[in-house]
Amino acid sequence: MAYSLSEIVTRFGGELLDDNGVTVSGVAPVERAGPQEIAFVSQAKYLRDIGSSQAGALILPPEGRDSSRCPRIVTSNPYLYFARVSSLLNPEPRPAPGIHPAATVHAQASVAESATIAAGAVIGEGASIGARSVIGPNCVIGEHVALGDDCRLHGNVTIYHHCVLGSRVILHSGAVIGSDGFGLANDKGRWVKIPQVGRVVIGDDVEVGACTTIDRGALDDTVIEEGVKLDNLIQVAHNVRIGAHTAIAACTGIAGSAKVGKHCMIGGAAMIFGHIEIADGVRISTNTLITKSLTKPGTYTSALPFSEHGEWLRNAAHLRNLDKLAHRIKELEKRISELEGKK
């Protein structure tokens, strides 16, 4: 499917310059785009790359307005514009509606006629699958799960019983929604399991990455609000609440009952203690451990800078002696003051 630039501008706005009637059918990086493709430059510093581009059209920031004679669309946010154009040119293929004969759908499950249930998927008793939702091959949907419209579950996703998902939710392969939280009481050295009777409740427009795990609540629910985006291999413990439109990069862990605000951005491999609150709009750097509540927006970091190993060894030895170093400094200050006093 190809679109003219004027069709694109009609949909998404922007200023169209030097249109030559070209139609574009795909997106590509500036350096590799061909005459049927549209490329973008998000920042002024990359404008130097466009001179040699073979792209049929460009999406440029205002500073780049006159950097090229190529047919181009000028917009204040080229990256966002590109996202929209790419979605237009790369619509998610929709499998035909219907239940594959190799799927297993419980007689008391409710599947919209326009939904697709792929081979090997297993849909439990009382589950409901909304309009146009696609359940990929070998997914397991537990009893009484409620799934909204236009959801997309890729292959091998698991949702435990009674979880509730909104519309337009995307779950990637290996994701597990609603597994038991890690709730244990200790009885003279032996662990006694605490039933996890809450659910996972996921809002509209949430995306969950591959092998990300979201545990069900112990008593209350674990809640992922609308528009949250979770990358791969993230752990969300029981009773966590993640505020709307927060994005979290891969390998991050959020411990039980933590509340993360709205519009937060959390870097990869961050760890967040349980029972704390993160304010709206907080940014947390990669590899950062957050041990207490953050009450105001800002960026928070705790990563140790890396060094060449020999240098690291020399420095690391002192890390275990910082308190002694600090005492030596204090002692020096005292001795100097004494010397100075004697003058």
- Nearest approach in angstroms of CB 71 to a second copy is 19
Q: Which is nearer to a second copy, 19 or 143 (CB)?
A: 143
Q: Which is nearer to a second copy, 20 or 316 (CB)?
A: 316
Between the CA of residue 226 and those of 170, 204, 211, 233, what are the distances in Å? 12, 5, 20, 20
- Nearest approach in angstroms of CB 53 to a second copy is 14
Task: Look up residue 195 and give its two tokens.
Answer: 């039933």
- Nearest approach in angstroms of CB 16 to a second copy is 20
Half-sphere exposure of 29 (CA within 13 A, CB side): 4
Amino acid (1-letter code) at residue 164: V
Q: Which is nearer to a second copy, 19 or 88 (CB)?
A: 88
Q: Which is nearer to a second copy, 65 or 328 (CB)?
A: 328
Q: Return the number of other C-beta atoms located less than 10 Å from residue 151's C-beta.
A: 24
Check if the beta carbon of residue 251 is closer than 8 Å to that of residue 191.
no
Q: What distance in Å separates the CA atoms of residue 178 and residue 124, rounded to the nearest whole number?
A: 14
Half-sphere exposure of 56 (CA within 13 A, CB side): 18
Q: What distance in Å separates the CA atoms of residue 328 and residue 21, rounded to the nearest whole number?
A: 75
Is 238 a catalytic site residue?
yes
- Nearest approach in angstroms of CB 106 to a second copy is 9
Considering the candidates 154, 162, 172, 238, report the single residue annotated as catalytic.
238
Just list the catalytic residues.
238
